[in-house]
Structure 1
Amino acid sequence: MSAPLSGPGSAPQAPGREPVRRGLPRTSRTARQHAPITATGLVVKVVLLGLVAGIAIWAAFPLIEAGHWIALGVLAVTTAGLFYLYLSRRHIPAKYLVPGTLFLIAFQVFPVLYTASTAFTNFGDGHRGSKDDAIVAVQTASVKQVPGSTEYNLTIATKGDPATGSLTFLLSDPKSKEVFAGDADGLRKLDAADVEVSSLSGKITAADGYTLLNIGQASSRSDAVTALIVPTDEGAIRSNGLTRAYEGKAIRAYDAVCDCVKDSETGKTWTADERSGSFVAADGERLAQGWKVDVGLKNFATVLTDSNISGPFFGTLAWNFAFAIGSTGLTFLLGMGIALALHSPRMRGTNLYRMVLILPYAMPSFAMLLIWRDMFNTDFGLLNDLFGLNVDWFGGNWSARIAVLLVQLWLGYPYMFLVATGALQAIPRELTEATSVDGASPWQSFRAVTLPLLLVALSPLLIASFAYNFNNVNAILFTTEGGPFAPDNPTNGATDLLITYTYRLAFGAQGAEFGLAATVSIFIFAIVATVSAISFRRTRKQEEVYS
């Protein structure tokens, strides 16, 4: 065997020993763990951990009050784990991964799971709380003034903003001189030392912790005043105008023996239906106050089979695909065409052109949408005035759809222009020059070389653009608001996307249907996920061919 060669001046290497490493010394794990902590780092750590502790304490009290012990345990374990992780010098990778993971769970995983669970319930107007809540609502809503009812002097107050804060009734009993505060949670007696009562009107004129509404402020919220019912042991307190209130008796009461609600005046009975979460009479009448229950696949069946839902759903789905494909395709074609024109070596002033062409992309989209909405106005819109037209753009189904696509084309082509420009610059010119040498025309060179290589680079962006446009709620709400609407269907318009239709189901004036809206959301997720999966599979095949 030959002896290992060594350079001049090198020390002999003892058998069985590792060669000496030259260069910068490696920092040992022990040294890293005992590295000094800077004052700035310590302050940041204390502030952030204090914020975590504050959020945990703030979240713990509602969980304790509601009796959600599992959630409270998860909160405690998570908080303790965060303190251990960031007070320890170990687990360095986890210090970077945990925040992102927690935000992912909080803002992605949890909303998706909550939406999915809501789709299997009847959650919505009239079905928001528990059965006990529904019983209380039925009884308090049936309160009527009867002879001998206690009457109060009423002052309307709030603990928040007079225009938006939750209302409270400040009540003074003219007979007993007692003072009370009442809201939807019940009636509470106030200490006389904490309030001031007018000797003339008998009304409360000041109360610690409350902001009193004047007549004008109370009048502007008269609907909320009328709707506020204060439950009591004897019935409930309701307002009688803005200055008087009375304690009435409930004419409808719940009977646990028959699990039903009985009306003491008419004798009518509504029996609890646990499948629908409603009190139902023998003639089919349902009380407006119900409770939240699991309904299984009923919402999915309703979306697919109920003509009132399935008709608008499938019609909107077809337009939704047309809108997403049209918006993505048109912006891609225009952006790519401009990028090809400016990519030509014979073009001069390309930097100036590029700067001007990306201006729509640099402006706030919501502001541009509002400007375009005014430009399409029938009476004073720029487009009609400029071209001498008299088109009611948002009055017809197809004209409104064309207008929306034109707006999307103007807003979206700069993005496609930018990404296409970058992709074109990454394609070697030798490839297109080689096709020219072989006798290919410019169109043949583009179709056989440039376009396939562009699609390989841009396919993921096109898929993302399709998914974005499929749920592009701003493009609709800021321009057509989903219209025009048919006279017999105010919940679904010609330009509605599934996402805007879902929004109207959940928060529309016809009443909130959160369960149905969550079901439509699941359909949207499934559609976009399926289209994206198929598109990515085709993209991988393209990459294998042209890589």
Structure 2
Amino acid sequence: MTFSAPTAPAGTTTTAGLLGRVVVVSMTLAVTVYLVPLLVRFQMWTWLVIVLLSAASAAALYSTRRLVPGKYLFPGTFFLAVFLVVPAVLTVQTSFTNFGDGFRGTKEEAITSITNNSVVQTANSPVYNLSVATVGSVSEGPFTLFLVDPATGRVLYGGDGETVREAAPEVTVTDGYVTSAPGYTILSPREVNDAYETVSALTLTVSDSSAIRVQGVRAAFEGTRRMVYDEAADTITDTATNEVYSVEKVGLSERFVNKDGRSLPQSWRQGVGLANYERLLTRSDLASQFLGAFLWTLTFALLSVLLTFVVGFALALALNDRRMRGQRLYRSLLLLPYAVPGFISLLVWSSFYNQDFGLINEVLHLDVPWLSSTTAARAAVLITNTWMGFPYMFIVCTGALQSIPSDLTEAARIDGASSLQITWRITTPLLLVAVAPLLVSTFAFNFNNFNAIELLTEGGPFAAGEYTRGGTDILISMVYRIAFGGSGADYGLASAVSVVLFVITGVLAAVQFRAIRTLEDIR
């Protein structure tokens, strides 16, 4: 006689299932409670809405035994929205702004920056004993200043841009300096010196006309603001020269400008409508750079797909012959370039192309300026990308070849077809039926293959005085250079280029998929 373990009736809740739901809901609530105050503090309203909606959805789905399909659909939908949809929407939003260097914060933050940076020390400026603290990294901050008035022993503190306030009684003062504070790490003088570039830029507000600035590693002074903001008139006045700066539009953005047309350097993030797209399409320098990058990107993607496919297909054909000995060994060796991480391969190949000491010129006794000539650099990029990409095509073609019935090739041989005719008229069309969609995805990948350009040539060579695009820059690396390049960050324009690039990639992919539908008739 045998006995089977009792099973829970359908619709009942098991202990493991209940525990699992409790854990999921508890973790969701814990993460939400942690993130919400931070998002409110930094005014990240879009992400706040996403977090609250996601938390509510997760709690509703996993706190009940019902809605079973939703439990499986939610994780994928959540990550799709967070990592794909939301970044795309934010990129489009940014493309309609002037976001970039000098245009990063709000108008209030710009005013604070202008007035705080104008603080000057006077003869009667109070001087405080300074201690620098942090709740994060001792090298990167964020930093908080603790100040001790040597005359009264009064302890003040505050972060950058904040209004200075009284410190809690729990703060420990030794020899006139704060040496410990609850929740903070006090930096040593050496650590303050290492981070001095960041620490010296900190400013604490005292009043509309005065603020505290860092003066050395162990001291700070309370100075007078040279620039004073009048909220009622929305102007900034230079008290030393009595110049008044009012808000006027300069170029795409509003700035504080005096009567002579001279503007203050700091502005703020503003909506500019379609101005970034207009700049891209109408400014001759940008339009020519964009067109040049587009043509090279198209050429690079097409040649990369063609070369990798031809090499991979040829090797797959050769190793698909049953008469070939050592097939497994050869196939394993051919997969090595695919097994090595791409960034390592690109850095190694970059050293190979050194004109004076590179392996290629040394072994072949050449003197080719691989990375200083546009033509040679583009050839180097294609050679390297082919070497890195053919193993993938080799794997794909090998699998596709082995799925083609041998009866077809045998029948063709009986009919008198040569090996070349069999390959061209039978094998290749049947293989393309399976491989063509992968060729489209490979084209899209190479159309945005940032690593192949940046790690190998860094976009160069560059013409004299040119920072936007180098000789090997494709559109995506051009976007990177606009956003983070030496000419200054311009995230608004970079986002506009990214949106145009997304549209172009989508249109090209759609055209390619439509073109390869004709292959579906080949059976």
Considering the TM-score relative to the shorter chain, is it more than 0.5?
yes
Q: Which residue of 1 aligns with 2:408?
A: 431
- Give, as a single letter, the amino acid of the residue that structure 2 aligns with 1:88: T
Is 1:256 matched with 2:231?
A: yes
Match of 1:33 among 11, 31, 34: 11
Q: Tell me by how many angstroms 1:376 deviates.
A: 2.0
Q: Is the 8 A contact 1:126 1:290 kept in 2?
A: yes
Q: Tell me by how many angstroms 1:439 deviates.
A: 3.5
User: How far apart in 2 are the matches of 1:243 and 1:308?
Assistant: 50
Give CA-to-partner distance per residue, 1:284-318, whole Å, 9 cap, x none. Answer: 43322211111010000111222342232222222
Is 1:364 matched with 2:341?
A: yes
User: How far apart in 2 are the matches of 1:162 and 1:471?
Assistant: 37
- Give, as a single letter, the amino acid of the residue that structure 1 aligns with 2:11: Q
Partner of 2:74: helix, strand, or coil? Answer: helix
Q: Which residue of 1 aligns with 2:4?
A: none
- 1:342-421 equivalence runs, <5 A: 342-421=319-398
Alignment CA distance shift 1:312-1:73 (3 Å):
closer
- Give, as a single letter, the amino acid of the residue that structure 2 aligns with 1:348: R
Match of 1:334 among 302, 308, 311: 311
More displaced stretch, 379-388 vs 60-69: 60-69
- Give, as a single letter, the amino acid of the residue that structure 2 aligns with 1:307: S
- Give, as a single letter, the amino acid of the residue that structure 2 aligns with 1:221: A
User: How far apart in 2 are the matches of 1:305 and 1:157?
Assistant: 50
- Give, as a single letter, the amino acid of the residue that structure 1 aligns with 2:437: P
Q: Which residue of 1 aligns with 2:431?
A: 454
- Give, as a single letter, the amino acid of the residue that structure 2 aligns with 1:416: M
Q: Which residue of 1 aligns with 2:205?
A: 231
Identity level (%): 42
User: How far apart in 2 are the matches of 1:80 and 1:252?
Assistant: 47
Match of 2:113 among 129, 137, 144: 137
Q: Is the 8 A contact 2:350 2:456 kept in 1?
A: yes
Partner of 1:401: helix, strand, or coil? Answer: helix
User: How far apart in 2 are the matches of 1:69 and 1:487?
Assistant: 43
- 1:38-187 equivalence runs, <5 A: 38-39=15-16, 41-64=17-40, 75-76=51-52, 78-184=54-160, 185-187=162-164
User: How far apart in 2 are the matches of 1:77 and 1:488?
Assistant: 49
More displaced stretch, 438-447 vs 219-228: 438-447
Alignment CA distance shift 1:195-1:72 (3 Å):
same
More displaced stretch, 99-108 vs 526-535: 99-108
Q: Tell me by how many angstroms 1:192 deviates.
A: 4.9
Structure 1: 4+ residue segments shifted above 6 A: 66-71
User: How far apart in 2 are the matches of 1:426 and 1:285?
Assistant: 72
User: How far apart in 2 are the matches of 1:455 and 1:546?
Assistant: 9
Q: Which residue of 1 aligns with 2:5?
A: none
Q: Which residue of 1 aligns with 2:183?
A: 209
Give CA-to-partner distance per residue, 1:254-296, whole Å, 9 cap, x none. Answer: 2334432221222333221366132233444332221111101
Q: Is the 8 A contact 1:186 1:230 kept in 2?
A: yes
Alignment CA distance shift 1:428-1:68 (3 Å):
closer
Partner of 1:489: helix, strand, or coil? Answer: coil
More displaced stretch, 237-246 vs 455-464: 237-246
User: How far apart in 1 are the matches of 2:52 and 2:275?
Assistant: 37
Q: Tell me by how many angstroms 1:47 deviates.
A: 2.1
User: How far apart in 2 are the matches of 1:72 and 1:343?
Assistant: 56
Q: Is the 8 A contact 1:178 1:192 kept in 2?
A: no
Q: Is the 8 A contact 1:270 1:281 kept in 2?
A: yes
Give CA-to-partner distance per residue, 1:25-81, whole Å, 9 cap, x none. Answer: xxxxx95322x5253x44433222211111221232245557788976765454333
User: How far apart in 2 are the matches of 1:70 and 1:474?
Assistant: 30
Partner of 2:105: helix, strand, or coil? Answer: coil
Partner of 1:159: helix, strand, or coil? Answer: strand
Q: Is the 8 A contact 2:467 2:485 kept in 1?
A: no
Q: Is the 8 A contact 1:375 1:382 kept in 2?
A: yes
Q: Is the 8 A contact 1:270 1:282 kept in 2?
A: yes
Partner of 1:337: helix, strand, or coil? Answer: helix
User: How far apart in 2 are the matches of 1:81 and 1:116?
Assistant: 26
Partner of 2:136: helix, strand, or coil? Answer: coil
Partner of 1:523: helix, strand, or coil? Answer: helix
What 5-or-longer segments of structure 2 have no aligned partner?
1-7
User: How far apart in 2 are the matches of 1:326 and 1:122?
Assistant: 36
Q: TM (normalized to structure 2)?
A: 0.92
Give CA-to-partner distance per residue, 1:504-531, whole Å, 9 cap, x none. Answer: 2222343221111111110110111011
What 5-or-longer segments of structure 1 have no aligned partner?
1-29
Q: Is the 8 A contact 1:195 1:208 kept in 2?
A: no
User: How far apart in 1 are the matches of 2:45 and 2:92?
Assistant: 23
User: How far apart in 1 are the matches of 2:397 and 2:292?
Assistant: 33
Q: Is the 8 A contact 2:170 2:181 kept in 1?
A: no
Alignment CA distance shift 1:73-1:437 (3 Å):
closer
Q: Is the 8 A contact 1:272 1:280 kept in 2?
A: yes
User: How far apart in 1 are the matches of 2:422 and 2:213?
Assistant: 80
Partner of 2:164: helix, strand, or coil? Answer: strand
User: How far apart in 2 are the matches of 1:109 and 1:337?
Assistant: 40
What is the number of residues matched between the two proteins? 512
